[in-house]
Amino acid sequence: MIKITSAEFLQGVADLRQLPKRELKEVLFIGRSNVGKSSLLNKLCNRKNLARSSATPGKTREINYYLINDDLYFVDLPGYGYAKVPEQMRAGWKKLIEDFLKRGEPIALAMQLIDSRQEPTPLDLMMMDWLEYYEIPYVLVLTKADKLPVSKLARQIDAYKERFSSQLTEGCCRGIVPFSVVSADGKGDLMKVIQQSIKEGRREKKEAV
Ligand SMILES: Nc1nc2c(ncn2[C@@H]2O[C@H](COP(=O)(O)OP(=O)(O)OP(=O)(O)O)[C@@H](O)[C@H]2O)c(=O)[nH]1
Ligand SMILES: [Mg+2]
């Protein structure tokens, strides 16, 4: 199992010309504002404040690169769907993210985060369409799993598995994993998918978790 021994903030990117010079494989963290991207990234790295998480939605504005084990990047993408963001900025976000995803090769895996208590939003579905279109393997991470009673969470996971069964069997979805930053449930499964995706490269079909 991959073990994270070092993690450091490398740089924020607001423009694709600012991408790090050194090309390494990347694991992306994608989801709407406040869904728990920074919290998940911190938990995977066993760090409290590597990626700043906060109660104020829309805080992460740039694409933030973290260097992991001097060998891999974790990339925290700006959250979307925050109502107070002006329209012009939203268009800028869309272009930046799509251009970012188009780069292909270096992207080993995307973590698509969705709040376990909610249905995917139209922007979540658009993101998943992009991931499928650009053939980027991804995991659906159902966040804040501690906020649902166990039986309800199980029903929600089943509903997601049914709804996205074609993405799971024929598409790029590598699994649907509930996660809680409080209990760390799901961390082991996610580390396993990360390890697999880094080892095997992106075009091969892998076992779903
Ligand atoms: N109970 C519970 N709270 C969580 C969990 N994950 C995140 N939170 C809380 O949700 C809020 C948002 O978490 P962040 O990790 O900052 O969310 P983000 O997706 O990085 O948000 P932006 O950077 O604004 O896009 C914080 O108050 C976290 O403490 C979880 O698994 N359980
Ligand atoms: Mg964040």
Reported as a single tens digit per residue, the pLDDT across 141-199 is 999 999 999 999 999 999 999 999 999 999 999 999 999 999 999 999 999 999 999 88
Q: Which residues line the pocket of ligand 1, CB cutoff 6 A?
A: 31, 33-39, 53-55, 57-60, 79, 143-144, 146-147, 180-182
Q: Are 4 and 46 contacting, i.e. CB atoms less than 8 angstroms apart?
A: yes
Contacts 24+ apart (CB under 8 A), 17-21: 20/65, 20/73
Reported as a single tens digit per residue, the pLDDT across 78-117 is 888 876 667 777 788 888 899 999 998 899 999 999 999 9
Structure tokens at 53: 């998480």
Question: Which residues neighbour ligand 2 (ion) by CB within 5 Å?
Answer: 37-38, 60
CA distance 112 to 30: 5
Mutation probe of ligand 1 site: the residue of 39, 77, 124, 146 with most atoms within 8 A of C-beta: 39
Total Cβ atoms within 10 A of residue 52 = 12
36-40, 42-46, 102-106, 120-124: which range is least confident on average? 102-106
Q: Which residues, other chains included, contact 59 with Cβ-Cβ below 8 Å and sequence gap of 6+?
A: 33, 52, 79
**Whole-model pTM?**
0.92
Confidence grade of residue 56 (pLDDT, cut at 50, 70, 90): low
The hierarchical CATH code for the domain 24-200 is 3.40.50.300
The protein residue with its alpha carbon nearest to ligand 1, atom 23, reads 60
The protein residue with its alpha carbon nearest to ligand 1, atom 13, reads 36
Q: What is the DSSP letter of 79?
A: P
